[in-house]
Amino acid sequence: MTGLSRRTTLVKATHAAGAPDISERTMIARRQLLRFFAASPLLTATSLGTISTLLTANSDALAQSYDVLRGSRRAFGPDGIITAPADALDVFEFEPAAKKAVLSQDAPAHWGYLQSGVDGDVTRDANHTAFAKYNIRVQRLIDARKIDTSVKIFGETWASPIFMCPVSSLGAYDPEAGVTVARAAAKRNHQMILSTVDNASIVDVNKAHGRPAWFMLYPTDDWNVTRALVQRAENAGSPAIVLTVDRQGGRNTETLFRERRQDLRECSGCHTPGFTNEVSRKANFADIDVSKVTNLYGTGMTWEFVDRLRGIVKGKLVLKGIMTGEDAKEALRHGVDGLIVSNHGGRAEESGQATIGVLAEVVDSVGGRIPVLIDGGVRRGTDVLKALALGATAVGIGRPYVWGLASFGEAGVDRVLQILDDEFITIMRQVGALDITHITRRCVTSA
Ligand SMILES: Cc1cc2nc3c(=O)[nH]c(=O)nc-3n(C[C@H](O)[C@H](O)[C@H](O)COP(=O)(O)O)c2cc1C
């Protein structure tokens, strides 16, 4: 029961005993609210902002779950779906809002594309549920009012360890695609990785982000195209090329196919038939000859391909999609600078293996020589903390920011980041971690 509904019940009971009428009750409620603020340590806030706003505005303020702040004064529709980003209490609340927005454009196939895992979506779901296999060990009586969430990676400082994963075709959810995401990420100083096949180009995204994003590479099966993509990203300033290695061999995105059945639109207007057209219409391929490309993901890619790529990448080379200690060691041997433990959000293979479950194995295999990042199923600040405790340097989110994007554009992405940052700060305080270096394996235990 929320604080507001509890209060309503209380008022009803008092009224039965000959208590105040509606206008008097309103006055009493207002007085109670004012009294609450007068007694509140959060009094410095001039408006009824969210706890999150207060947290980030004043690093000395501590979050308190006062019901009066949790309760929203907005009228929700009968569907209970949020109508403004500020109303969201957690990132999950953006999911139905995004669905509603996408379906209102009669685009169930786009919704299916975003949500889909492969086969029965078991791996997609396992990514999140597996975080429950770890509990957090809290520490008491540590003054944790001042928290520093920044991380250093490849010489860059990020304000938060939470980064935005590459997601293809963001244009299905926002007209400016990755550029809108970049603006939101920049506002909170989060790093992002742009997909080769986003609708926005790395040049425009880097401008909107204010500093260069990392570039995620689908190499294609034409080396000239690979090289041109890398050069474009590096010329735009991108400090890291992220080769995704988990998309060879095909996949069965059943949830997408099921939603596609409901989609009555003529898709060929945007999805021009023919593989080359699919590739060439994406901004990062502009002015590159893709006529020989038959496969976006690279055909028969092996470690020799990594060597060849290593030979042309001037900045950092990161592999995304590593799920075993053996592959992590192999990556070290091939001069890779960083790894992302990922199964593509459960969209690559139906292994049933959650990313968080293999993180420690990968981290132990590289022994601190290169950073290990992770994504998949991260939905809470506590998930971020667990991943960092198990050795991740940074933690990626995919679908949650796209839910924010699809439902409310830049403001939605911004609120998703704010919620996760604030949840993360709150749990850092509870474990007594004043900065990221204090988050160690001692902070988690097996559930
Ligand atoms: C719609 C969609 C498109 C994606 N496109 C790409 C892509 O182009 N390249 C890539 O490496 N990963 C891609 N991913 C995977 C994400 O980068 C990330 O690994 C995953 O979304 C993380 O899991 P989460 O969605 O549970 O947070 C995509 C994910 C989604 C949901």
Quote the tokens at residue 292. 């020989």
Nearest to 423 by CA among 194, 126, 136: 136
Task: Note whether 181 and 187 are within 8 A (CB).
Answer: no
- Which positions ≥6 away from 241 have C-beta within 8 Å? 214, 215, 217, 230, 233, 234, 309, 313, 315, 316, 317, 318
pTM for the whole thing? 0.87
290 CA to centre of ligand 1 in angstroms? 24
15 CA to centre of ligand 1 in angstroms? 54
How many whole angstroms separate alpha carbon 313 and alpha carbon 390? 29
Is 110 part of the annotated catalytic residue set?
A: no
What average pLDDT does the segment 116-130 reach? Answer: 98
Give the nearest ligand 1 atom to 128 CA: 26
CB count in 10 Å sphere of residue 27: 11
Ligand 1, atom 20, residue with closest C-alpha: 345
3-state helix, strand, coil in the chain (%, to 5): 50, 10, 40
399 CA to centre of ligand 1 in angstroms? 7
Encode pLDDT of 46-79 as tens digits.
Answer: 333 333 333 443 444 455 556 556 555 666 778 9
Ligand 1, atom 10, residue with closest C-alpha: 166
Ligand 1, atom 21, residue with closest C-alpha: 398
Element holding 234 (H helix, E strand):
helix 223-235
Quote the tokens at residue 138. 């809290």
Confidence grade of residue 271 (pLDDT, cut at 50, 70, 90): confident
Nearest to 318 by CA among 89, 145, 163: 163
Helices (H), 354-398: 355-366, 381-389
Encode pLDDT of 296-311 as tens digits.
Answer: 999 899 999 999 999 9
Q: What is the pLDDT of residue 278?
A: 87
Encode pLDDT of 332-360 as tens digits.
Answer: 999 999 999 999 999 999 999 999 999 99
Q: What is the mean pLDDT of the chain?
A: 88
107 CA to centre of ligand 1 in angstroms? 19
DSSP-derived 3-state class of residue 10: helix
Give the nearest ligand 1 atom to 127 CA: 26
Nearest to 293 by CA among 160, 284, 302, 407: 284
Position 312: which residue type? Answer: I
Give the nearest ligand 1 atom to 195 CA: 8
**In angstroms, how far apart are the furthest CA atoms of the chain?**
84
Phi-psi region of 253 (alpha: psi -120 to 50; beta: other; left: phi over 0): beta
CATH topology of domain 108-446: TIM Barrel (3.20.20)
Query: What are the extents of the domains in the chain?
Result: 3-71, 108-446
Identify the active-site residue in 110, 190, 209, 344.
344
Encode pLDDT of 17-35 as tens digits.
Answer: 333 333 433 343 444 444 4
Which residues are near ligand 1 (CB < 6 Å)? 113-114, 127, 165-168, 195, 197, 216, 244, 320, 342, 344-345, 347, 375-378, 397-399
Encode pLDDT of 360-377 as tens digits.
Answer: 999 999 999 999 999 999
Give the nearest ligand 1 atom to 342 CA: 19
| Cα torsion angle, 22, 23, 26, 31, sign | negative
CB count in 10 Å sphere of residue 149: 18
